[in-house]
Chain A
Amino acid sequence: GAVVSQHPSWVICKSGTSVKIECRSLDFQATTMFWYRQFPKQSLMLMATSNEGSKATYEQGVEKDKFLINHASLTLSTLTVTSAHPEDSSFYICSAGRTSGRVSYNEQFFGPGTRLTVL
């Protein structure tokens, strides 16, 4: 299988602090990782695409200076929410992409998500 982990699974922080979320592909190498945000009762919104060793590509409307993404290795990407505010409270989900000849599409495997609450 292909397992993706996220840490922490939940975090509560004070307004103005920074929070780092890790996303790891445990049993495969992921050249591309994706970060999504999901507000309650809404669908997943892609925030950014992260390629190992290069700068992340952010979706329109996502502040790159606020949501810092680092993809330092083929198995680890981190999202840092800087100077978090209550409106940043959300469910953050990462996924790791794997190109496989076994299937006709590029598979994405999702992490279990991180619930961020900013007080």
Chain B
Amino acid sequence: ETGVTQTPRHLVMGMTNKKSLKCEQHLGHNAMYWYKQSAKKPLELMFVYSLEERVENNSVPSRFSPECPNSSHLFLHLHTLQPEDSALYLCASSREYGVRNTEAFFGQGTRLTVV
């Protein structure tokens, strides 16, 4: 599949579990992003990677741990989450980081439920 692909599409996990979300892009983009979309709240930027280096971390709790092994893959490792972390997690990519008027390309998201 072209574009930005996220797996799994749905995930249910207990508070003591460890799980990972995966994002893959085949667009040749250098920047990748994790967003959180909670019910009744706007999309919130969590992390930004540019050329595999983390450049932004928007006060996200340490129970969320990102990893970017190469410019095509981005992971979000989850550990000891809380029920309020249940949300839609969106991955996005863009051609370059920090360039004006750059379009962001989004994946379809992972719907996470913490029980």
Same complex origin of A and B: no
- List the interface of chain A (C-beta within 8 A of B): none
